[in-house]
Amino acid sequence: MIHGKNPAPVPAQLRLTGEDLVLREWTENDLPAMTGLFDDPEIAHWTPLGEVLVIRQNANGLTASLGYSVGAAHRGRRLGARALTVMTEYAHHALDLPRSTLSIATDNAASAAVARAAGYHLTDEPPTTTVRRGWSLTLRTWARDRP
């Protein structure tokens, strides 16, 4: 676990395990799978990327925004909730971030279910509206605080 305001840099080849999963960075060998994932209309509709990621946000760097997507062939096995749990634990403990957040479209019930299953709750923050690839999305903030 890393403590303090200046956590150690992320290793060049990050590999996380937990929830019976191994999360790692994409490689060139993953290009065929990436193409299928990013071409999935469901993924394209809801997200700018298809993967699990952590982005430090806000000026103080004390919050991480996480994102996730699961390809159609792999849905229904709790992969999204399990991967989100692993990434949340990494953000909270290895990166020493006290809060992680998700921005979920108000009508994306599947993503809200993943958030709930990974221990996130809907916050009182006002919704924001964004336009992605010509679609207007109203996003709500979900959060999970480090215990």
- Read off the pLDDT of residues 62-80 as tens digits, 9 standing for 90 and up: 777 887 777 777 778 888 8
Instruction: Give 87-127 pLDDT, tens digit per residue.
Output: 899 889 888 889 999 999 999 899 999 999 999 999 999 99
d(C-alpha 34, C-alpha 107), whole Å: 25
Among residues 57, 70, 46, which one has the least CA distance to residue 143? 57
Among residues 24, 118, 98, which one has the least CA distance to residue 57? 98
Relative to beta strand 63-67, strand 99-105 is parallel
Instruction: Give 11-55 pLDDT, tens digit per residue.
Output: 557 777 888 877 777 777 877 776 666 667 666 555 546 445 566
Look at residue 133 in the predicted model and tell me its pLDDT.
Answer: 72
E-strand stretches of the chain: 15-18, 21-24, 53-57, 63-67, 99-105, 121-122, 128-132, 135-145
Look at residue 42 in the predicted model and tell me its pLDDT.
Answer: 66
d(C-alpha 63, C-alpha 97), whole Å: 6
Q: 């509709």: which residue's tokens?
A: 45
Look at residue 140 in the predicted model and tell me its pLDDT.
Answer: 95
- The answer, yes or no, to whether residue 4 has pLDDT greater than 50, is no
Torsion of CA 91, 94, 96, 98, to 10 degrees: 40
Among residues 88, 81, 92, which one has the least CA distance to residue 146? 92
Look at residue 20 in the predicted model and tell me its pLDDT.
Answer: 80
Q: Under 8 Å CB-to-CB from 28, ≥6 apart: which residues?
A: none
Look at residue 50 in the predicted model and tell me its pLDDT.
Answer: 40
Structure tokens at 60: 């103080």
- The answer, yes or no, to whether residue 6 has pLDDT greater than 50, is no
Confidence of residue 7 (pLDDT cuts 50, 70, 90): very low
Look at residue 122 in the predicted model and tell me its pLDDT.
Answer: 97
Structure tokens at 113: 């279910």
